[in-house]
Chains A and B, each alone.
Chain A
Amino acid sequence: MSDNIDANLPAQPEHSGDGTVKPGYLPVAPIEHKPRVTDTDPKAARRAERQVASMFALSMILVVVFVIAYVTIDVTAVVYVPVLGEIGASNLVLGLTFGGAIFFIGAGAIQWAKKLMPDVEVVQERHSMESSTSEETEAAGNYERGKEESGFARYKIIRRSLLGAMALFPIPLIVMLRDLWQSEPGQNPAEILSSTSWNDGMRIVPDIGHDTGENVQGIRPEEIPVGGLVSALPMSIKDLKKDAVANMRDRGKSAIILVRMDPEEIRSQQGEGWDYQGILAYSKICTHVGCPIALYEHRTHHLLCPCHQSTFDLADSGDVIFGPSARRMPQLPIRLDEEGFLVAQSDFQEPIGPSFWERG
């Protein structure tokens, strides 16, 4: 057996030139060579040959089927396949035939290599990673000469001012981060986050998408049944329709939901008389990371945020009863105006949405 191993090894690699072989270039243990069935049994070899050839032939057949399917199958035809469900017949057949065609070329090639191509253990030669001494000396010499010729060591003031310039250069990149929260010049970011468009007498209008405000006068309390839910906005959104940025910013802060429950079911709210006959207005913006939420369960009065499962109890001051949110959902005090529409009593009494640094 040991003769066999030697016969299967390539010539001894010689690198250092002085005749000695560097360690690591030989297998640490002799590799035992096991001949394959196709090496010893000619019948098996012929079987493997047929196998590989039929894979290539199958690939050709699949290409022909692809072309036929492309021409004949109606692209709108639908077939039912278990697991996949309803699927376009054309897509299915084209995908399977084209994918199969390339798969069987690859599979045939691998099978050919594994079963029929020469089976020898080969030790792969590698070059030394280390540079030669002369190259190392030359590189060090280049560096020293560059240092000398540029005068980097000699011109102290140039060196220091260059280092200073490079140290200062990244500062604008940090300063520009301020743009992330500074939107109006001269305005404190904390103020922007703490106020919304709601104020005393601001009419509440239903959010019906981009048309909001066009024909809508407001919401009358009798329009909301017990158990009802309305996504709503301040009437002032009407004036912002043309200004896309302001419109979006205002929607992001002022969006509310109106829910109505039996007044007896309200256990507590954030202020005395903030509801109107069981109609409560809460911010739509989750106090965790600001997802808009309206997953309201009208029997449990739970408001669930789909992002991280924060759950608020709207019958109990909007308190957090589950999830990562650290703050209750801010309530908007509402009343009725002279014309019988629902309006806000004031702005929110606490900042809406996620916590921020200055909020404390």
Chain B
Amino acid sequence: MGSQTQVEEGKRLFLEGCSSCHGIDAQGSANGPSLIGVGAASVHFQVATGRMPMAAPGAQAPSKEVIYTDEQIAAMSAWVASLAPGPAIPSAEQLDFADADIAEGGVLFRINCAQCHQAAGGGGALTQGKYAPSLMDATPQEIYEAMLTGPQNMPVFSDETLPVEEKQQILAYIDSLQEASSPGGMSLGRLGPVVEGLFMWTVVFAALIAAAVWIGIKAR
């Protein structure tokens, strides 16, 4: 929990940058949801990935350049956390996946995450312009916070239904996906054989046809 000055600084930043949509007392408005009870984890995820503040209304807030410093984000998190209890920022212990089982994480990822984020974490489309983002650049803390708070349209995976140990396994699996190299280059979003086949049928076939034409043309 933040100190009193930190909470006050957070409130000042909130009134300045967030209250136009989320309301003077974070009670929400037609333009943005209430932040009472969303917890520090939610604030940190949204602001530290640049999703908040939103640049323009749209189907979904995209990840973009972060405009607040770490101290400012911590202050805003502390203020929102002081409003009502909510998911706290995960501790270093919770985020330590060094001993987690990557294979188990893969199973859990395919059951709980792959339907939207794709089996290799490449992300995918949802309804009406919304999308599940790629996980390739997400940090363990961001992933943990996203599972805990359910940002935007992502469902919440609480520590009760998906315990810390299982979350760590998922973190380990995503980390292994991020680390996995692509020795052949041009992974085509790791979307698999359909995309690779399409590439072959269009690009490579065009090249073969061009070669056949060159062979057939009479020399001048």
Contacts and interface: CB of A to CB of B under 8 A. Distances in A.
B95 to A, nearest CB: 20
Contact of B152 (A92, A294, A299): A299
A265 B107 CA distance: 32
A231 B111 contact: yes
B interface secondary structure, majority: loop
B185 A85 contact: yes
Contacts, number: 108
B219 interface: yes
A86 B181 contact: yes
B156 interface: yes
Given A38-B219, A87-B183, A296-B155, A208 B150 contact: no
B185 A86 contact: yes
A78 B187 CA distance: 14
Contacts of A220: 160
Most buried by B among A83, A92, A115, A225: A225
Given A298-B156, A299-B152, A81 B115 contact: no
B154 interface: yes
Interface stretch (A53-61, A143-151, A162-170, A300-308): A300-308
B124 to A, nearest CB: 7
B156 A209 contact: no
Contacts of A110: 214-215
Contacts of B183: 87-88, 91
A228 B157 contact: yes
A210 B107 contact: yes
Interface string B20-62: 0000000000000000000000000000000000000000000
Interface string B87-125: 000000000000000001001100110011000000010
15 contacts: A83-B186, A87-B183, A87-B184, A91-B184, A114-B218, A206-B161, A209-B111, A223-B160, A223-B161, A224-B161, A225-B158, A297-B153, A298-B156, A300-B127, A306-B124
Interface of B: 104, 107-108, 111-112, 115-116, 124, 126-127, 130, 132, 150, 152-158, 160-162, 166, 181-187, 214-215, 218-220
Given A84-B185, A223-B158, A227-B155, 14 more contacts: A81-B185, A85-B182, A85-B185, A86-B185, A87-B184, A87-B185, A115-B219, A208-B108, A208-B166, A209-B104, A229-B112, A229-B155, A231-B111, A259-B155
